[in-house]
Chain A
Amino acid sequence: GAGVSQSPSNKVTEKGKDVELRCDPISGHTALYWYRQSLGQGLEFLIYFQGNSAPDKSGLPSDRFSAERTGGSVSTLTIQRTQQEDSAVYLCASRWTGNNEQFFGPGTRLTVL
């Protein structure tokens, strides 16, 4: 597809379960970002991947959050032992190296019961 895609679009889980959220960036984009959009917190940066460099994990809120990017393309954000405060929309964005514009996906709405 032409844009960033994310799956699932909605995820409802029970407290304490693990979840995986997927992001397919735009083909050829070397930089990939995860953000979280929640009520009261706005849009927060979580993690950033650039090529083969070590990821910038400075925005991850706790060690229950992790992400990987396989083959420089698809990324998976994993949240272990989910808590109710993890409920949010998780957004992925990608960027081509020679451009400062980030293109956002539609997000995954996570609800933790």
Chain B
Amino acid sequence: AQSVSQHNHHVILSEAASLELGCNYSYGGTVNLFWYVQYPGQHLQLLLKYFSGDPLVKGIKGFEAEFIKSKFSFNLRKPSVQWSDTAEYFCAVKNNQGGKLIFGQGTELSVKP
């Protein structure tokens, strides 16, 4: 069965620090990968997605993620975080049967001003 693992449960950073959130998935076939963000009190929103092509994907608000097939990883990065990036981040893989999303446990990011 497909699964997604996010290594960090809670990350605390100061503004301007660089961010990398780990995500590993288990699935040997074609994958569609996503990072969603949930700001406090708001809906889940899509940050970025990977389907095919360039493994370095750029998303909204300066986020990017790199798909490394050999490592089954899709880590999220941002060179310089802001206080407004405080949120919970979810990595997900799309199940090829029907398209349901399999989510990781989420990583809570707290950015100190």
Contacts and interface: CB of A to CB of B under 8 A. Distances in A.
B94 A100 contact: yes
B101 interface: yes
A104 B44 contact: yes
A48 B99 contact: yes
A43 B90 contact: yes
Interface string A8-45: 00000000000000000000000101010000001111
What DSSP secondary structure best describes chain A's contact surface?
strand
A56 B99 CA distance: 10
A84 interface: no
Interface string B90-113: 101010011111111110000000
A50 interface: yes
Interface string B18-50: 000000000000001000100000111110010
Given A43-B90, A104-B36, A104-B43, 14 more contacts: A42-B90, A48-B98, A48-B100, A56-B97, A56-B100, A93-B101, A95-B99, A100-B94, A101-B46, A102-B99, A104-B44, A104-B45, A105-B43, A106-B42
